[in-house]
Chains A and B, each alone.
Chain A
């Protein structure tokens, strides 16, 4: 009988082995996948148990979790709608957006940087407190941008060119994230739907994810491409008719306000930029060709999604255009689409001598015992142009502000480089108004991009110089006053 018993023992052992394997497979191998299943409420309950980290600016919280006397233990609280474009919201019912989502693993204490805290929590039973995120935002600059935009729809991004640190990021209108973090599903959902259905679209982030037609700010890119090609200098001239017939069409390109762009037979690239003339830029675009312009656009970061750590929507330079479309695209029309962040990056690259730094919002991540878990150092994204080209483009942008049509960004006693844009969006549609630039031009402290959407409430009556440039001026002043 013992031979049979031995075989039965083996069968019993195999049965147990199966159970060992099955539990290992569930508890360890697929634990991660299972914890992310929508129907698994455990991770949600877990997240309630621990205090979520704060989002800080200069040590002051703009989003924090305060103790609450309910099953959720903590209520997420926001101090000012001015920061809604940064924080996004964190809701038990609607999920999370903005930095609340991008920095979630740190804020919840689940990032691998907190490994040792997690291990000690296993033994102490105390949940890991989330880490706090200190931002690079300068509250004064942020406030200046917020106030300067007033009740206009639009966005402002201000970057420190040398480091890529983001000093201000405003999207207007903002929203009160407290409306969504309430511990009441009915209220939270109602508030969410109200925001979602609002004509002002406050939940859209106009600085990072919305795409706009760039208009004349795109001329900076085309001028850069021209000078980088080695075939052109700022002094290179182009024919200067009053109208330019786009090849293969009956469509004429005119300068803004039917301007004559100096009124001479030819015009230099520098003057074309200074007066923001469409006719020479369209010709220059066709001469360069879409491939050269696209290559330059890609060097500036077009077509690439980056995380700052907010995810930036890739900007678009169209493909497969004919010459007519290439001509239009050269002054920021046709299907060119950009984010405000992308335009700010472009100016910052010019300001930084051709070196483009990666825009960054996070100064440091602090664990609950104030140990720095992560302190991002400035990161180079690329070198879209040589230092010589950068200097030439800078000088042209100085001309545009000092003696050109971007004059409203002038700051007394400071040399400002910049370029306005007034993009058309089709028949009868309000313009998109732009300004981008940097100051002081010889030692840039700040690069800025401003968009005023929906014509700033003036339909087709507003111009980049009249509406966007004054906002940029206030933002740059806020930085320079320090």
Chain B
């Protein structure tokens, strides 16, 4: 960080900071990331087809072009932005495309028609473009704070939209329009960003009153009923999502996100205690009451039980995914060498099982390490930023990636019950890609402002 200190101490105006060192590091890492993508594509073609086909370029070029484009957007519009976030996103997204392409090649072999890689490339380019738009049109980290309540309406609207028959139709319409078979636009993916913005804005303004404590009961200070209002409404909303949309994952995701953000904002661990109690009791009640949740729990606890294995909506997919992972063993079957197509939804919900089978434990560790690095960059932004709204936003967006990953991969590896969330950046599906690239865009934008003049004031303090 000597460089940052240097620029700060001599206070060169931002406009003539001509040494975009972060961008140069990023450029080298991107060369590696794109090279890795080329290597993956080539290996898959050689392994499955035994030859390199010219459609290699069809997959390679658009992706690389999009990556180069956003790199130059960053050079111009956010030259001080974090240098690792974009390369990590590129590696993960590229790996996802490669594995989806690998599954496509198998579909081709058996003369199937449901192909995903082309669409995934198209969505990726669009998603990177959207991230670029975020970097260009969100001028500063404070910009989003103006839209806190808009975000709330947007988030809640997106989240609840599948429940409404009318909007539900429009989603069907959108699905036809993008033409992605059973995987449709998931408004929940975008809702998580809008809600994170809302939570950050709301908590920054209300944190003081939320942090004020009420009576002491058994040595624990209980917040006043008024302050419990927000957490209860979010809890009810999450339960509604669970009951009406049959989505345990989304429900857990929002609730977990809110608990963490309210804890970071107020520093009051009682919210965590109350929140966890509510979450666990909610889940327990749901597991008794809702058939959907009950069967998920059964499949989770005893997946190898033959009756759960055979049941419709039972543990078949989970068990096949676990078999796939086990088949990968330590070093994996190699890209193109495994049998990932044996698992239903191998390209989306179970992409991590597909990758685990072909890349082995080594590959899984590498993927998890990349995510951990991505999340830790986000948390680092939260640590170093001096603006509380940005801090909350950065930690919220980072945590939502970490939690989603935990719920998805934990679901596949039987840590938690299996849910329908997507693996960020890896899984096939447009809405998920766009949402996660928006997160990347926002994180890049916030990180760029860390080195701005305000920091010097902070240092004087």
Contacts and interface: CB of A to CB of B under 8 A. Distances in A.
Interface of A: 1-5, 7-9, 11-13, 15-16, 18-20, 22-28, 30-31, 34-35, 37, 39-43, 45, 122, 125
Nearest to A125: B334
B264 A23 contact: no
Contacts of A42: 323-324, 327, 339, 342
B265 to A, nearest CB: 8
Those 10 A-B pairs whose CB atoms lie nearest each other, nearest first: A34-B326, A22-B413, A31-B326, A27-B361, A15-B406, A40-B323, A4-B264, A42-B327, A12-B402, A23-B364
B391 interface: yes
B379 interface: yes
B63 interface: no
A18 B403 CA distance: 12
A23 B408 CA distance: 13
Contacts of B157: none
Contacts of B324: 42
| Residue with the highest number of chain B CB atoms closer than 10 Å, among A22, A23, A122 | A23
Interface in B290-312: 304, 309
A9 B379 contact: yes
Interface in B354-372: 356, 360-361, 364-365, 368, 371-372
Contacts of A122: 331, 334
Contact of A45 (B265, B330, B339, B356): B339
A8 B322 contact: no
Contact of B391 (A5, A15, A30, A34): A5
A13 B339 CA distance: 31
Given A22-B414, A31-B326, A31-B329, A39 B406 contact: no
Nearest to A36: B326
- Say what secondary structure dominates the interface of chain A: helix
B94 interface: no
A24 B365 CA distance: 9
Contacts of B328: 27
Contacts of A16: 368, 371-372, 402, 406
Contact of A125 (B304, B329, B337, B375): B337
B132 to A, nearest CB: 28
27 contacts: A4-B264, A8-B264, A9-B376, A12-B376, A12-B398, A15-B403, A15-B405, A19-B406, A22-B410, A23-B365, A26-B322, A26-B326, A27-B325, A27-B330, A27-B356, A27-B364, A28-B361, A34-B323, A35-B326, A37-B304, A39-B323, A40-B323, A40-B326, A42-B324, A122-B331, A125-B47, A125-B334
B352 to A, nearest CB: 9
Contact of B383 (A5, A23, A25, A41): A5
Nearest to A27: B361
A35 B324 CA distance: 9
A345 B450 CA distance: 86
A90 B43 CA distance: 34
A379 B405 CA distance: 57
Given A25-B413, A45-B339, 17 more contacts: A4-B264, A5-B264, A8-B379, A12-B375, A12-B399, A13-B372, A19-B413, A20-B368, A23-B356, A23-B361, A27-B356, A27-B364, A28-B330, A34-B326, A37-B304, A40-B327, A125-B47
A184 B147 CA distance: 66
Interface residues of B, number: 50
Nearest to A6: B383
Contacts of B265: 1
A23 B413 contact: yes
A18 B410 contact: yes
Interface of B: 47, 260, 263-265, 267, 304, 309, 319, 322-331, 334, 337, 339, 342, 356, 360-361, 364-365, 368, 371-372, 375-376, 379, 382-383, 388, 391, 395, 398-399, 402-403, 405-406, 409-410, 413-415
| Residue with the highest number of chain B CB atoms closer than 10 Å, among A22, A26, A37, A39 | A26
A34 B324 CA distance: 9
Nearest to B319: A39
A175 B76 CA distance: 80
A9 to B, nearest CB: 5
A30 B413 CA distance: 12
B317 to A, nearest CB: 12
Nearest to B392: A1
A8 B260 contact: yes
A16 B401 CA distance: 12
A118 to B, nearest CB: 11
B222 to A, nearest CB: 19
B228 to A, nearest CB: 19
B327 A19 contact: no
Contact of B325 (A5, A26, A37, A39): A26
B403 A5 contact: no
A8 B326 contact: no
A347 B398 CA distance: 79
A135 to B, nearest CB: 33
Contacts of B322: 26, 34
Contacts of B388: 1
A1 B327 contact: no
A5 B323 contact: no
A23 B324 CA distance: 12
Given A1-B267, A27-B328, A42-B339, A15 B382 contact: no
Contacts of A28: 329-330, 361
B399 A3 contact: no
Given A12-B375, A22-B415, A5 B395 contact: yes
Contacts of B319: 39
Nearest to A31: B326
A43 B357 CA distance: 13
A20 B414 CA distance: 12
Nearest to B266: A4
Given A5-B383, A40-B323, A19 B329 contact: no
A23 B323 CA distance: 12
A1 B264 contact: yes
